[in-house]
Amino acid sequence: MTLKNRILVAPLNWGLGHATRCIPIINALIKHHFEPIIAGDGEALQLLIKEFPTLICLELPTYNMSYSNHGFLLKWHLLKKAPHILKAIHKEHQLVKNIIKDYNIKGIISDNRFG
């Protein structure tokens, strides 16, 4: 039995666009004999769990962000959430270090996650 190279796939959870973009990437990894491990949070993670129920899925800290109904308010909203986002980024970075060690990760594909 040969061991497959494990690739961590981690989409951002600001809507489902990041997660849906990862679906063909995960399928391509499987086709090319890699072992994807999914990491994320919220609806994005739930979508990928439903799409790939046999893969290892890990939860990362949430940035707890949402888009504003008014584009001009997005910058203000981001600024207001900055302390929480920075804390989540730091926690995520530490978790990913452990995931790399614990799961023998050989590569990371991140769709806009910050940590």
Ordered structural domains, the chain, with CATH: 6-111 (3.40.50.2000)
pLDDT at residue 73, rounded to an integer: 77
Residue ranges of the chain with per-residue pLDDT less than 70: 1-3, 66-68
Q: Are 85 and 63 in contact (CB under 8 A)?
A: yes
Contacts with 5 (C-beta within 8 Å, 6 or more apart), sequence order: 34, 35, 106, 107
Measured in degrees and rounded to the nearest 5, phi and psi for residue 54 equal -95, -10
Could you give the CA distance from residue 32 to residue 109 in angstroms, rounded to a whole number?
15
pTM of the model: 0.86
Structure tokens at 58: 């890990």
Q: Are 4 and 35 in contact (CB under 8 A)?
A: yes
